[in-house]
Amino acid sequence: MAVLVTGGAGYIGSVTVERLSAQGEAVVVLDDLFRGHRSAVAPVVPLYQGRAGDRSLLKKILSEHKVEACVHFAALAYVGESVQQPAKYFENNVEQGVALITTLLDAGVRSIVFSSTCATYGEPEQIPISEDAPQWPTNPYGWTKLALERMLAAFDRAHGMKFVALRYFNAAGATERSGEHHEPESHLVPNVLKAASGALPILSVFGQNYPTPDGTAIRDYVHVSDLADAHILALKHLRAGGASDFINLGTGQGYSVMEVVECGRKVTGRPIPIRIEPPRAGDPARLVADASRATKVLGWKPRKSDLATILRSQWDWQQSHPNGYAQ
Ligand SMILES: NC(=O)c1ccc[n+]([C@@H]2O[C@H](COP(=O)([O-])OP(=O)(O)OC[C@H]3O[C@@H](n4cnc5c(N)ncnc54)[C@H](O)[C@@H]3O)[C@@H](O)[C@H]2O)c1
pTM: 0.97
With beta carbons less than 8 A apart as the criterion, state whether 188 and 219 touch.
Answer: yes
How distant, in Å, are the alpha carbons of 21, 23, 163 from that of 46? 12, 16, 24
Mean pLDDT of 222-238: 98
CA–CA separation, 50 vs 65, rounded Å?
16
Residues with CB under 6 A from ligand 1: 6-7, 9-13, 31-36, 51-52, 73-77, 92, 96, 115, 117, 168, 170-171, 182
Which residues are catalytic, by number?
141
Residue 48 has pLDDT above 90, yes or no: yes
Longest dimension (CA), the chain: 56
The rounded percent of the chain whose pLDDT value lies above 90 is: 96
| Residue-wise pLDDT tens digits, 140-159 | 999 999 999 999 999 999 99
Residue 252 gets the label, from left (phi > 0), alpha (psi -120 to 50) or beta, of left
- Kindly indicate the confidence band of residue 283, based on its pLDDT and cuts at 50, 70 and 90: confident
How distant, in Å, are the alpha carbons of 22, 30, 216 from that of 50? 25, 6, 40
Can you give the pLDDT at residue 327? Answer: 61
Which residues are bridge partners to 249 per DSSP?
168
In angstroms, what is the span from residue 158 Cα to ligand 1's centroid? 27
Mean pLDDT of the chain: 97
- pLDDT: which is higher, 15 or 327: 15
Shortest-distance Cα residue to atom 12 of ligand 1: 73
In angstroms, what is the span from residue 3 Cα to ligand 1's centroid? 17
| Residue-wise pLDDT tens digits, 70-102 | 999 999 999 989 999 999 999 999 999 999 999
